[in-house]
Amino acid sequence: MSSCHQQSTTVSTSMPSVVTAQKRPAPRGSASYPRKRAVKACQVCRSRKTKCDNAKPACSFCVKVGATCIQTPVDLSSFDPASLQILQRLDDLEQLVREGNPDTFDHSIAIPNQLSESLHPAQLLPCPIDSILEWISLRELLPQPLNGPAFLCIKKSFEPHRVRSLLDNFFNFVHVKNPVLDEQQTRRTVNRVCLHGIDWSPDACLSLLICALGTIATPLDGGYVPRDSEAYMTAESFFLTAKKRLGLILGTSSLIEAQCMFLAGVYSICTFDRMAAWRYFMQSLACCRTFQSLIGFRREYGDQLDEAGRWSAAAEQAIYWSAWKSEREVNQELNLPGFLFSELDAGYPPLFPTPPSHDSDATTLHALRQRRANTLLEIKESTSQVGQSHIDRLAQEVADREAQVSDWVCASPRNMSINNPPEEDDVCRFVLRGHLINVWEIIYWPFVEWAINSTIVMEDEPLLREYAMKGLQIHMERIRVNRAGFAHRHHGTFYLIKSCTQSALILLAAARSRNFVTDQAENSLHVPIGWQSAVKEVIHLLEAWEQESADLSSMANTLRLMYRNYEGTT
């Protein structure tokens, strides 16, 4: 019994040692960094041998007695790794705060005196980089202005009072030439985006494009915004910001997609980026092809719509016509492979919408374009006939065409009459008169080309000679009529410059042709009086715009060299 009792006692007394050996392991890092008392009293409290609360930057006792509180640095070796990591992060945060607001920790600055001075509200918040660069201390470090929109901030230009001015510019100087938007609704949309901020919505994209065009838009007689100006760089910032949003609306087949693509094309052609403009116009046109109002155009679709539906259909047809017309104009200049049209293919698309009867401006412009298309088609039909000289047959039809165009000019409404001198034209009359010049050019072109390049003596062809002289006079008239738009950036600036250059080259070719004489001899072909001054005007026009496009620079060099060589041979 005693042995059993002794054995059990031994077993029971040995159990605690086993439990002690299997106790929970110590926390990671405590063996290497045993915790010690890290807080030490300041020198004043230590000398008094009193407890110190270690308040920062001075303890309570030192503040109370006015003593200088000197605290020893914390011994970081007494902390575990987690505490050291926390302290390091706090040091990093303190450094960031000090670098961002250095004046906050400068106790030597009299802050109450600073706030008592008058401050502009803009000075109370961080300003953009372009404003910082205007500071006096930095201005001397940047003697030349920045080239490009890299540092421009559109938020400053997107303030309500600035946007209101850009909207006015857009509708007064841009939209009037291609009315594809509802003005009141568009103004509300842009103002809403301005108030709520620029997001990634289609409305924001449309608003940015309108502001871009409004920034570079000017009156007909107000000059143009040069490429190296601040306004131009601001417009580029608007446009680049809008381009980032175009991809989000691509493929939605919505009205606003077609409008945004069209306005992007207008901006591109205004800045002479013709290839990009053609892509945007093509995309707008492709979007328009899916509109129900155009699909059902031949099925009396409009009769089945209510007022809201008719308004939507009219908006869809307006953007379709503008996109189609603009794409054809750019395409004609680019001559892209696979997209070549016949030189005389000027028929309107089958879904061309009828202009509203209450809008005499649109009706007048449509009628003139229709007259031009009919003239081209008549010439094409005439040249397909055989058995008689083409030039003689065309000469027989000129009188009827002249009468038709003259009747149309006389029948134009008063608000679109072009009977006054070109110097009195507003922008709509200016555009209208330019299209009228194009019609006259088409009518007389065969005779001008034949007179310059023909090897047949024209002494026995008085009618052909008369029409050739009229054609040359039209080219003189084109330069005079377009003079008002020589310094005006708009949708058709490139076409204006190119057409005037073409007229100058024709006048120069006529002066060099052996069929023409430079004096005013009777019964002879002669170049119009003042043709040399007209050619010089076009040279100056090209020189004014040659920095905008490599094509214009090449045109300027070519025409300048040719005219200089002509003067050297006379």
Structure confidence by residue, pLDDT tens digits, 380-428: 555 444 434 677 778 888 888 888 888 888 877 777 777 777 777 777 7
Q: Is 344 helix (H, G, I), strand (E, B) or coil?
A: coil
Q: What is the pLDDT of residue 512?
A: 81
Q: Are residue 451 and residue 492 in the same domain, yes or no?
A: yes
| Structure tokens given for 476 | 């003189």
Q: Tell me how many domains the chain contains.
A: 3
- Token pair belonging to 34: 């045993």
Half-sphere exposure of 145 (CA within 13 A, CB side): 9
* Residues 385 and 312 both lie in one domain: no
Q: 346: which residues sit within 8 A by CB, 6+ positions away?
A: 372, 373, 376, 377
Distance CA 414, CA 450 (A): 38
524/480 same-domain check = yes
**Percent over 70 (pLDDT), the chain:** 65
Which DSSP symbol is given to 83? H
Judge if 488 and 449 occupy the same domain. yes
**Pair 229, 301 in one domain:** yes
Q: Determine the pLDDT at residue 82.
A: 73
Domain assignment present for 147: no
pLDDT single digits (tens) 276-329: 999 999 999 999 888 877 665 555 555 566 667 777 788 888 898 889 889 988
Do 322 and 380 lie in a common domain? no
| Domain termination site, one of 53, 69, 85 | 69
Both 559 and 503 in a single domain?
A: yes
Which structural domain, as residue segments, surrounds residue 232? 154-334
Q: Is residue 99 part of a domain?
A: no
Place of tokens 């009628």: 367
Q: Are residues 375 and 299 in the same domain?
A: no
Q: Tell me the per-residue pLDDT of 150-203, one tens digit each, with 9 for 90 and over.
A: 334 455 556 777 888 899 999 998 998 888 999 999 999 999 998 888 889 999
Q: How far is CA 126 from the centre of its chain?
A: 28
pTM: 0.61
As a whole number of Å, the CA-based R_g of the chain is 40
Residues 317, 264 share a domain: yes
How many CA within 13 A on the CB side of residue 402?
Answer: 10
Q: What is the pLDDT of residues 111-156, one digit of tens each?
A: 344 433 443 444 434 444 344 334 443 344 344 444 443 334 455 5
Residues 289 and 434 in one domain: no
Domain boundary among 69, 86, 114: 69
pLDDT surpassing 70 at residue 491: yes
CATH number of the CATH domain containing 209: 1.25.40
pLDDT band at 541 (very low <50, low <70, confident <90, very high): very high
- Both 414 and 326 in one domain: the answer is no
Cis omega (within 30 of 0) for bond into 143: no
Q: Which residues of 96-114 are buried (b: 16+ CB within 10 A; e: fewer)?
A: eeeeeeeeeeeeeeeeeee
For residue range 243-284, list pLDDT tens digits in order: 999 988 888 889 999 999 999 999 999 999 999 999 999 999
pLDDT at 205: 95
Q: Are residues 367 and 328 in the same domain?
A: no
